Chains A and B, each alone.
Chain A
Amino acid sequence: MSLALEQILNGLQFGVMIFLLAAGLTLVFGIMGVINLAHGSIYMLGAYVAASASSKGAPFVVAVAAGAAAAAFAGLAIELVVIRRLYLRDHLDQVLATFALILIANDGVSIAWGKTPLNMTMPPALAGAVSLGGLTYPTYRLVLIAAGLAVAAALYVLVARSRLGMLIRAGATHRETVAALGVDITRLNTIVFALGALLAGVAGALLAPILAVQVGMGEQILILTFVAIVVGGLGSIRGAFVGALLVGLVDTLGRAYIPVVLKPVARPEIADSLGGGLSAIAIYLLMAIVLVWKPRGLFAAGTR
């Protein structure tokens, strides 16, 4: 059943892709209480900078670092100029502001790099395939899984074991107390936001070799990310991880098997089209089911 194994690996890999984005988003929303629609745009910036650096000859690791740095820097700028003024405002104002940022980012990127999608070449060392007991699997996708797991582990250590992490968790539930204890909440928020942006940039840079680096690439994946953090529970890194994996698996396995299952039961044209349609909404059905069962997501954290 190597095909089934391959599809499961595919689902996990896709889920890990989403986790890289979901981690940042859940930190910002769950802990800071800010809805950041521009998260996808930061991811896009990471991809563009990495692809651009790579096309100018930078080695892969440098290009990824460049993308991550650019994203973190952008996150910092956004927090200082925009988000900072919106902490005490309605969530909806944050929606409008970050929506405006999406417009600016998409146009800005097309002014800076033109309208043609960019290419990022995969480093030849990672471009091959690996043999996993009868199954040949692309090396790069395994690299993505490894990277995602590494990020998850690093985040866990950061949030659960470090002083910064403790402050983040405390600041989420008892903002005033932490401030009263002399911690600079504003600076803390800035750090969290920049951290989320950094993660998004890493995601963009790592995905650039296998995706189209184009205007609007952030919005495509943003919806999946939101679904993942809602399913997983807001503010929980563990939730984001599980939620992202679930979304990845359901979406991938849905696309892999729903059409196949429908074929013997329905006419070919209907099976294909219905199958395609059903697998497209599979993750929304997943979310609806999870929310009916656990209205705050699987691993709801804190009170927000």
Chain B
Amino acid sequence: MVTTLRAALAALLMTSLAGSAAFAADPPPLKIGMITTLSTAGGYLGEDMRDGFILAMDEEHGKLGGVPIQLLVEDDGLKPASGKQIADKFRLQDKVDVFTGIIYSNVALAVVPGLVESGAFYVSPNSGPSQLAGAKCNKNFFVVSWQNDTPHEATGHYAQYLGLKKMVVVAPNYTTGKDAINGFKRTYHGQIAEEIYTALDQTDYSAELARIRAANADGIFYFLPGGLGINFLKQFTNAGLKKTMKVVLPEFSLESHVVSAVGNDAEELYGTAHWLADLPYPANKKFVEDYTRKYHRDPTPYASQGYDTAKLLASALRAVNGDVTKADAFRAALRKADFKSTRGAFKFGPNQYPIQDWYSMKVVRDPKTHKLTIRGVGKILRDTGDVYSSQCKM
């Protein structure tokens, strides 16, 4: 019995100590809770997004829309459970009303529904799950980046445009991977020679590459996030397959970190994007210049999305003078999206996911620096939303 009493006491003591392990909060500035992925192999996405957000805050010396901001940032470690726990802590202990930051959809789906149901606002700088884009859309949930399927639909469009008649598609064997392939197939109407599903912890792709070679296709589309894609691309190039197949990718498989990680293997890659560093909008030029100067690295889509999220929040905060308890006014101001984004004019669809243009791009060698860079080629989709918005009845 003593053991049990000790255990119970230990439980109470430890848990209340541990549970109160949070920042003490100071009144005046508006708190924004940023839950994002900063560790694990995918940590650089969160890092870029956060740095882009902070860059926007720098322009107003730590304010957004004239409102001083206290940005609380914590790492979810790509674990839905941690994300939820951080969200609870921010909401209940730090009394945060405005949230952002999540990169990965599995974390978002664990965190967002609870938050928006409790009346908090969530503005997504990256994850745009389909589950929240249709019937389950919520008036407090905004997405600044894209709906998860659309980058793949854009790629399918581009593959079609490039005249690729027979393609191989590859993705990891999980829902997001299958969604990517479904998105691609929605717009690509050529022949799919092989549909290959890989494992999430796979490092060696020689077996799949042999199957791909045997398929005799003229193009390949793959969705392999982060390190998976880097592994695959290196091995794909090493197998000599780039000589006979065009590689057409969505932008997350083709941003500057990936290009630097694969070195010369990035040459001759085609892709689609909603944002490019060379988009000619003044807001974008300023963003790219300032980002490169401050952080000494090239901005990625994640950085631009973090920046745009901050700018969106700034525009809405200005409209309500920082008083987010005026929920309806704040929401209306968010919906208005009256800010100059890195993609030009910005607007939301009826489900509060973006309606935007999509571009095609290619990796080329810069003649002056001899570095491999991503160059925009043209616009392939105009004012495109997502396929789920019609199911949203807000």
| Direct A/B contact, Cβ within 8 angstroms | yes
Contact call B196/A214, Cβ cutoff below 8 A = no
Q: How far is the CB of B119 from chain A (nearest CB, A)?
A: 34
Return the contact of A116 from the options B196, B199, B234, B261 (Cβ within 8 A).
B261
The answer to the question of A199 belonging to the interface, with a C-beta cut-off of 8 Å to chain B, is: no
Return the contact of A217 from the options B41, B198, B206, B235 (Cβ within 8 A).
B41
Return the contact of B261 from the options A7, A119, A279 (Cβ within 8 A).
A119
Q: How far is the CB of B74 from chain A (nearest CB, A)?
A: 15
Return the contact of B44 from the options A107, A115, A210 (Cβ within 8 A).
A115
The answer to the question of B207 belonging to the interface, with a C-beta cut-off of 8 Å to chain A, is: yes
Contact call B39/A107, Cβ cutoff below 8 A = yes
Contact call B238/A127, Cβ cutoff below 8 A = yes
The answer to the question of B208 belonging to the interface, with a C-beta cut-off of 8 Å to chain A, is: yes
Q: Interface segment, B94-102, B103-111, B224-232, B276-284?
A: B224-232
For B198, the chain A residues whose CB sits under 8 A away are: 255, 276
The answer to the question of B321 belonging to the interface, with a C-beta cut-off of 8 Å to chain A, is: no
The interface residues of chain A, by DSSP majority, are classed as: helix
The answer to the question of A110 belonging to the interface, with a C-beta cut-off of 8 Å to chain B, is: yes
Contact call A276/B203, Cβ cutoff below 8 A = no
For A129, the chain B residues whose CB sits under 8 A away are: 239-240
For A3, the chain B residues whose CB sits under 8 A away are: 210, 214
**Docked CA distance A276–B197 (Å):** 6
Q: A-facing mask of B187-230, CB < 8 A → 1, else 0? A: 00000000111110101101110110110000000000011101
The interface residues of chain B, by DSSP majority, are classed as: helix
Kindly identify, within residues 111 to 140 of chain A, every residue whose CB is under 8 Å from any CB belonging to chain B: 114-122, 127, 129, 136, 138, 140
The answer to the question of A173 belonging to the interface, with a C-beta cut-off of 8 Å to chain B, is: no
**Docked CA distance A182–B213 (Å):** 60
Contact call A10/B201, Cβ cutoff below 8 A = no
Q: Interface segment, A92-100, A267-275, A288-296?
A: A267-275
Contact call A215/B43, Cβ cutoff below 8 A = yes
Q: How far is the CB of A285 from chain B (nearest CB, A)?
A: 14
Contact call A116/B257, Cβ cutoff below 8 A = yes
Contact call B206/A119, Cβ cutoff below 8 A = no
The answer to the question of A211 belonging to the interface, with a C-beta cut-off of 8 Å to chain B, is: yes
Contact call B235/A212, Cβ cutoff below 8 A = no
**Docked CA distance A210–B206 (Å):** 11
Closest chain B residue to A209, Cβ basis: B234
Task: Bin the interface of chain A by size.
Answer: 35 or more
For A64, the chain B residues whose CB sits under 8 A away are: none
Contact call A256/B240, Cβ cutoff below 8 A = no
**Docked CA distance A149–B45 (Å):** 39
Closest chain A residue to B264, Cβ basis: A121
Contact call B173/A276, Cβ cutoff below 8 A = yes
Contact call A255/B208, Cβ cutoff below 8 A = yes
Query: Are A214 and B240 CB-contacts (below 8 A) given A110-B43, A256-B211, A275-B197?
Result: no
For A106, the chain B residues whose CB sits under 8 A away are: 39
The answer to the question of B29 belonging to the interface, with a C-beta cut-off of 8 Å to chain A, is: no
Kindly identify, within residues 291 to 316 of chain B, every residue whose CB is under 8 Å from any CB belonging to chain A: none
**Docked CA distance A106–B178 (Å):** 30
Contact call B204/A138, Cβ cutoff below 8 A = no
**Docked CA distance A87–B328 (Å):** 65
Contact call B43/A115, Cβ cutoff below 8 A = yes
Contact call A252/B204, Cβ cutoff below 8 A = yes
**Docked CA distance A107–B240 (Å):** 35
Query: Are A110 and B199 CB-contacts (below 8 A) given A118-B261, A252-B206, A256-B211?
Result: no
Query: Are A14 and B206 CB-contacts (below 8 A) given A140-B238, A220-B201?
Result: yes
Contact call B238/A273, Cβ cutoff below 8 A = no
Contact call A210/B39, Cβ cutoff below 8 A = no
Contact call B234/A117, Cβ cutoff below 8 A = no
Q: How far is the CB of B255 from chain A (nearest CB, A)?
A: 10
For A117, the chain B residues whose CB sits under 8 A away are: 41, 44, 226-227, 230, 257, 261
The list of the 3 closest CB pairs from A to B, nearest first, reads A276-B173, A276-B197, A10-B206
Q: Would you mind naming 21 contact pairs between A and B with Cβ atoms under 8 Å apart?
A: A7-B206, A14-B204, A106-B39, A114-B44, A116-B257, A116-B261, A117-B261, A129-B240, A138-B238, A210-B235, A211-B234, A212-B226, A214-B230, A215-B41, A217-B227, A220-B203, A255-B198, A255-B199, A272-B173, A273-B173, A275-B197
Residues of B within 8 A of A (CB): 38-41, 43-44, 47, 173, 178, 195-199, 201, 203-204, 206-208, 210-211, 213-214, 226-228, 230-231, 234-235, 238-240, 257, 260-264
